[in-house]
Each structure stands twice: as C-alpha cells, then as structure tokens.
Amino acid sequence: MKKAYSYYMTQRPPMPGAMPTEGLEFIDENTNLRFINEIGRDAYARLTYNRELTDKEIKDYELIPLFYDVQLTRTEILRIMELLKAKAIEDYTLAGPLGKTHRKLRETLES
C-alpha cells in the first residue's frame, strides 16, 4: 500500500509558488476558507503528497500536517488552544516589562 501524507493550507489558497510541488499528488481545494474538523481551524485546501514534507517546507509554506493517529474532538482542540494561549500570555507577562513585578508577587504568594 502506498503511503500518503496530507497537509492543510490555512494562510492562502493553492496557487503556483504557494506550496511545494515535488511529490504533490492531489489538491482538495475549497473556493473559500472552511472549518476543518480534523485540524480544528479554517483551511483553503488539503494537499496530498507521496512523500513526507520536510520541517522547513512545512514552515516556509505555513502548512498544517494532518496526523491520522491523533483523534481529538473539536472541544478538545479548543481546550488545548485555550491552555496554549493562557501559557503564552503567562510567558509574555513573566518576560515583559512587568515581568519583574509579576515574578516578585508570585514568589511572595508562593512563600
């Protein structure tokens, strides 16, 4: 059985130069952005390749890999996104201009 690798385009629709072409076998294209349950966000198209794309290709073309072994519900995905957002805000607060004050307050509360 031939292995296939799928990726979603979330930043732009498929067009020349917008995605890697080596190994591209199929483009499942939408005319507009639409919500994709598999990745928990909107996307323009699903690209299928006969090879796994490199990390550089995924980053350069801003693609979202589709992992079939991960089965999450939309609710679980949204919860994970909330937790990541909260963590990012906390990290910024600790590193930002008020970080020293925030760290001192946290240390006081924890002792």
pLDDT in tens, 62-84: 999 987 544 557 787 788 888 87
Residue with tokens 């990541």: 84
How many domains are there within the chain? 2
Specify whether 12 is located in the same domain as 61: yes
pLDDT in tens, 29-59: 876 888 888 888 899 999 999 999 999 999 9
Specify whether 59 is located in the same domain as 78: no
Specify whether 82 is located in the same domain as 40: no
User: What stretch of H or E contains 59?
Assistant: helix 55-60
Specify whether 14 is located in the same domain as 35: yes
Specify whether 35 is located in the same domain as 84: no
The range of the structural domain enclosing residue 48 comes to: 5-65
- Grouping H, G, I as helix, E, B as strand and the rest as coil, residue 53 is coil
Specify whether 42 is located in the same domain as 81: no
Taking the whole predicted model, whether its pTM rises above 0.75 is answered as no
CA separation for the pair 22, 6 (Å, rounded):
13
